[in-house]
Amino acid sequence: DGGITQSPKYLFRKEGQNVTLSCEQNLNHDAMYWYRQDPGQGLRLIYYSQIVNDFQKGDIAEGYSVSREKKESFPLTVTSAQKNPTAFYLCASRPGQQETQYFGPGTRLLVL
Amino acid sequence: AQSVTQPDIHITVSEGASLELRCNYSYGATPYLFWYVQSPGQGLQLLLKYFSGDTLVQGIKGFEAEFKRSQSSFNLRKPSVHWSDAAEYFCAVGALPPGTYKYIFGTGTRLKVLA
């Protein structure tokens, strides 16, 4: 069953802690994206990757880091430098040479 | 600068009534246009998309949208709303800049359906 999975569904972060959100896809899509969603602000792009071992900053990359070592995986680390990390995080993927992005179910990050 | 505007933050309709959600964009060329739907706590599901050709596009769940170049609009419509359509709807513009396949999203319209 092909799709995009994100784990965990809920994640709690303590002050000063780094946390990593997982995004995996078995659709053989080339590109992957991370978005942050806050109420009333729509989705904002954090990072994106069009091929393995390459990624670019989006509009709000400060305080976040990513890696793309495998085509199927694009983990997002929320570092302690991100002072307001509470949000809903969405991962998406896109087939090569196509415009349409497909989204995972999301991870909600909460700060303790 | 490119932008997407969804003027209505909240819309309430009665079940069985028609629905139109507005989306306006600012972009120098004809963009790729999308409508997504999000149920609470869930990811986004693609409803429909417009790339070129016929300006009236059909999507899933009985939704359609019309691209109007002169008005820079891509409004979403449904002739008869069902209670299960209650959700948040996002309009997005793609291919900005060309080759990056990045989207710009509107801020969303939350739909409430009255029984």
Confidence at residue B98, expressed as pLDDT on a 0 to 100 scale: 62
Give, rounded to a whole angstrom, the gap between the first and last alpha carbons of chain A.
Answer: 35
Confidence at residue B95, expressed as pLDDT on a 0 to 100 scale: 64
Q: Taking 70 as the threshold, does the pLDDT of residue A19 lie above it?
A: yes
Confidence at residue A94, expressed as pLDDT on a 0 to 100 scale: 92
Confidence at residue A96, expressed as pLDDT on a 0 to 100 scale: 81
Sort out which chain A residues have CB atoms less than 8 A from B102's CB and list them: 45, 48, 58
pLDDT in tens, B54-99: 899 999 999 999 999 999 999 999 999 999 999 999 999 986 566 6
Query: Residues A71-85: what's their mean pLDDT?
Result: 94
Confidence at residue B96, expressed as pLDDT on a 0 to 100 scale: 59
Instruction: Enumerate the β-bridge partners of residue A33.
Output: A48, A92
Interface test with B, best of A29, A37, A47, A59 (most B CBs within 10 A): A37
- Nearest in space to B108 (alpha carbons), one of B35, B17, B18: B35
Residues of B with CB under 8 A from a CB of A: 9, 32, 34, 36, 41-46, 49, 51, 90, 94-95, 100-103, 105-108
User: Are A81 and A60 in contact, with CB atoms under 8 Å apart?
Assistant: no
Query: Residues A45-68: what's their mean pLDDT?
Result: 95
pLDDT in tens, B9-60: 999 999 999 999 999 998 877 788 999 999 998 999 999 999 888 899 999 9
Q: Taking 70 as the threshold, does the pLDDT of residue A49 lie above it?
A: yes
C-alpha to C-alpha distance for A110 and B41, rounded to whole angstroms: 14
Confidence at residue A41, expressed as pLDDT on a 0 to 100 scale: 82
- Highest average pLDDT, of A71-75, A108-112, B53-57, comes from A71-75
Closest Cα in chain A to B7: A40
Instruction: Give residue A1's pLDDT band: very low, low, confident or very high (50, 70, 90).
Output: low
Q: Residue A42 is nearest to which of B45, B100, B107, comparing CB atoms?
A: B107
User: Are A99 and B49 in contact, with CB atoms under 8 Å apart?
Assistant: yes
Beta carbons within 10 angstroms of residue B8's beta carbon = 14
Poorest-confidence range of A2-6, A51-55, B25-29, B90-94? Answer: B25-29
Confidence at residue A67, expressed as pLDDT on a 0 to 100 scale: 97
Closest Cα in chain A to B90: A42
